[in-house]
Amino acid sequence: MTPITNPAVAMQLPVWDHVTDRLVMAEMFYEPTRNPHMLRIELEDWPIPLDVPLRVLTQGLEEPTRSTEMSQLPMRDNEHVLWSIRWNLAAQERPVELRMLRVPRMALVWHLTQVSRHGARSARVDWDGEYERLCREHRWR
């Protein structure tokens, strides 16, 4: 995997292990010159970074969506999405590793809004409108 050297957007996102309820910090990097349709996600306790299509993160807000490494599903509480991460760690002696992480929907939308302001157009989503709608629905403003 190509290292991220000068991302246009670098953000931290708190996520929770869905099984243990332990907080895990995720870092999200967007570098449009490297690949304008991908976002790199690094988890503090995960050995390998994930390159996730923006399509998975945007469409997964409303419906189950998947890529090779990750699926995103909206949760029933409408305040979180679930990341299901699959990775082949054969080099680390385990054939397949699975992680289930609970991600605050509002924080993910805000982060994706920042990415969209740097030119990402992988999906036709009105990020400012989505942010405002979520704020109104949950009375966050």
The answer to whether residue 3 sits within a structural domain is no
The answer to whether residue 82 sits within a structural domain is yes
Q: How many residues does the chain have?
A: 141
Q: What is the CA radius of gyration of the chain?
A: 15
Considering only 4-18, 98-112, 127-141, which range has the smallest mean pLDDT? 127-141
The CATH number of whichever domain residue 115 belongs to comes to 2.30.31.20
Tokens of 14: 């708190």
Tokens of 22: 């332990």
The answer to whether residue 80 sits within a structural domain is yes
DSSP letter at 91 equals: G
Q: Tens digits of per-residue pLDDT, 62-96?
A: 999 998 889 999 999 989 999 998 876 555 555 56
The total of structural domains in the chain comes to: 1
The answer to whether residue 35 sits within a structural domain is yes
The answer to whether residue 59 sits within a structural domain is yes
For 74, other C-beta atoms within 10 Å of its C-beta total 17
Q: What is the pLDDT of residue 141?
A: 46
What stretches of 19-96 show up as alpha helix (H) in DSSP? 54-59
Percent of residues, the chain, with pLDDT higher than 70: 71
The answer to whether residue 57 sits within a structural domain is yes
Q: What is the pLDDT of residue 18?
A: 93
Which range marks the domain in which residue 126 is found? Answer: 9-138
